[in-house]
């Protein structure tokens, strides 16, 4: 608990946002995702305020893939963030949350015609162009709707980062964006520069996720400017916007040592400033797209402990009522999490156990070798840092209904996603009788 932004209350229970986690588990059932909204706001403001302090024009777009629900997008709206969506479903959620259209940016390496049509119909602020098909579909749709739109060109700067390879999206061998090294980015630039209806505002790059150093961002800016300086000298192209993506790391376990949000912003701003001064062009607006670093540490998941299997001399398996269906990260990325017993976080640790999920899959293990006190059936386990990519990656394996989401702020709790019912699980099934 020392590494996580939560306390133990007077009853000796884990507390989140001024609420007793046991009360929440009781009221809403488990598994339960709980967010401390004030932490979400703090994270968002840390980015926004650093840009303000540096007196730089900027946009902070929340990467909604990390956790997209109507309530979350309303919080993002209240915090004056922009929004990054990558699918019709994420855009639909944004529209349902009445998110200001002009603050929505659309991504995606395979945007469908329908997605582009919907984006343009709703006059969203920007589309990030990922490939040539995007350009063709956007052109067609703009003509049909008689409109124009701002775009960024997504490029891959070709940097490799020390992170899990599944979440490495900035390297050259990537499905995302246009490669800088082989001239593909330049080709796309030529199609878009001085286009009638597509306004090319600048470049986008995203170098990876769960990054703990600022060097990668500095190098990415260097690489972008290598290209931009050519486009400037050959075509007088001056970028109005540089979007440097997201990927700022958070703490899952004590071994993670994240930098303050402001460090990433400072390094990126300074790098862009240096290059734009050298080129003698105005400082472009800087956009970032953090997802995990806005919601990750604000969320925890509560589970009820069930069966306990002890294999003497080998291991004790402690099963909980959720697992890979509500948090696939351990199974998919071997991601590590920390947890405490919410009904007694301060109890003396006596044992190491492994927390097993409920799904029929040996790989459904949430935490290996977790130090715990003596456990009992019915104890509540709280897993930390589950705010990003847990709910948003949930599945229905074994026909488990998706868990509920509760927001807590200043001692007030509010259900923001209802627990699915079994009727929901079968609602699209049709009969074959």
Q: Which of 21, 87, 93, 293 binds ligand LLP (CB under 6 A)?
A: 293
Beta strands in 42-159 (DSSP E): 58-63, 82-85, 104-106, 126-129, 149-156
Asked if 353 and 307 count as a contact pair (C-beta separation under 8 A), the reply is no
Footprint on residues 101-120 left by ligand LLP (CB under 6 A):
107
CB contact at 8 A, 45 and 416: no
CA atoms within 13 A on the CB side of 368: 9
Residue 292 binds ligand LLP (CB under 6 A): yes
| Shortest Å distance, C-beta 291 to ligand LLP | 3
* Six token digits for residue 228: 């931009």
Cβ closer to ligand LLP: 161 or 380?
A: 161
Helix (H, G, I), strand (E, B) or coil at 354: strand
Q: Using CB under 6 A as the criterion, what x/- string covers residues 160-179 for binding ligand LLP?
A: -------x-x----------
Q: Is 259 in the site for ligand LLP (CB under 6 A)?
A: no
Torsion angle, CA of 111/113/114/116, rounded to 10 degrees?
60
The site map against ligand LLP for 321-360 (x = CB under 6 A) is --------x---x---------------------------
Long-range contacts of 393-397 (CB under 8 A, 24+ apart): 393/327, 393/328, 393/329, 393/332, 394/325, 394/326, 394/327, 394/328, 395/324, 395/325, 395/328, 396/325, 396/425, 397/324, 397/325, 397/359, 397/361
Answer yes or no: 360 catalytic: yes
Closer to ligand LLP by Cβ: residue 211 or 281: 211
In the region spanning residues 386 to 405, those forming contacts with ligand LLP, defined by CB under 6 A, are 388-389
Q: Judged by CB under 6 A, which stretch of 119-127, 232-240, 246-254, 297-305 contacts ligand LLP? A: 246-254
Among 17, 202, 291, 345, binds ligand LLP (CB under 6 A): 291
Binding flag, residue 290, ligand LLP (CB under 6 A) = yes
**4 counts as binding ligand LLP under rule CB under 6 A:** no
Coil/strand/helix, residue 223 = helix
Is there binding between residue 245 and ligand LLP (CB under 6 A)?
yes
Say how far apart CA 75 and CA 52 lie, in whole Å. Answer: 20
Binding-site member from 206, 251, 261, 275 for ligand LLP (CB under 6 A): 206
- φ, ψ (nearest 5 deg) of residue 145: -95, 0
Q: Could you list the residues that contact ligand LLP (CB under 6 A)? A: 63, 66, 84, 107, 167, 169, 206, 209-210, 245-248, 289-293, 329, 333, 388-389
Could you give the residue numbers annotated as active site? 360
């Amino acid at each position: 608990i020392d590494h996580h932004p939560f306390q133990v209350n007077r009853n000796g229970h884990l507390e989140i946002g001024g609420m007793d986690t046991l009360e929440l588990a009781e009221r809403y059932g488990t598994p339960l995702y709980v967010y401390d909204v004030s932490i979400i706001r703090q994270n968002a403001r840390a980015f926004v305020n650093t840009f303000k302090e540096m007196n730089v024009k900027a946009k902070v777009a929340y990467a909604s893939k990390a956790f997209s629900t109507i309530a979350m997008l309303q919080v993002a709206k209240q915090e004056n963030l922009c929004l990054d969506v990558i699918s019709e479903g994420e855009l639909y959620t944004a529209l349902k949350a009445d998110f200001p259209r002009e603050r929505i940016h659309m991504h995606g390496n395979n945007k469908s015609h329908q997605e582009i049509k919907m984006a343009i119909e709703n006059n969203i602020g920007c589309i990030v162009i990922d490939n040539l098909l995007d350009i063709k579909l956007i052109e067609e749709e703009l003509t049909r709707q008689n409109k124009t739109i701002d775009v960024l060109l997504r490029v891959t700067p070709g940097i490799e980062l020390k992170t899990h390879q599944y979440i490495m999206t900035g390297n050259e061998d990537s499905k995302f964006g246009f490669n800088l090294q082989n001239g593909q980015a330049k080709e796309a630039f030529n199609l878009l520069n001085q286009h009638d209806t597509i306004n090319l505002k600048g470049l986008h790059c995203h170098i990876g996720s769960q990054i703990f150093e600022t060097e990668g961002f500095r190098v990415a800016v260097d690489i972008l400017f290598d290209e931009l300086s050519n486009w400037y000298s050959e075509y007088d192209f001056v970028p109005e916007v540089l979007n440097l993506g997201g990927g700022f790391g958070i703490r899952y376990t004590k071994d993670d040592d994240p930098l303050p949000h402001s460090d990433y912003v400072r390094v990126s701003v300074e790098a862009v400033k240096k290059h734009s001064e050298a080129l003698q062009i105005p400082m472009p607006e800087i956009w970032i797209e953090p997802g995990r670093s806005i919601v990750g540490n604000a969320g925890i998941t509560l589970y009820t402990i069930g069966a306990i299997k002890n294999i003497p001399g080998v291991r004790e398996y402690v099963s909980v009522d959720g697992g890979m269906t509500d948090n696939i990260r351990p199974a998919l990325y071997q991601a590590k999490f920390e947890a405490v017993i919410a009904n007694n976080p301060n109890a003396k640790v006596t044992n190491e156990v492994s927390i097993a999920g409920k799904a029929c899959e040996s790989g459904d293990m949430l935490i290996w070798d977790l130090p715990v006190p003596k456990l009992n059936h019915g104890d509540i386990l709280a897993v930390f840092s589950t705010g990003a990519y847990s709910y948003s990656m949930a599945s229905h394996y074994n026909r488990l209904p998706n868990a509920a989401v509760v927001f807590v702020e200043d001692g007030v709790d509010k259900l923001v996603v209802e627990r699915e019912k079994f009727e929901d699980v079968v609602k699209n099934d049709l009969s074959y009788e």
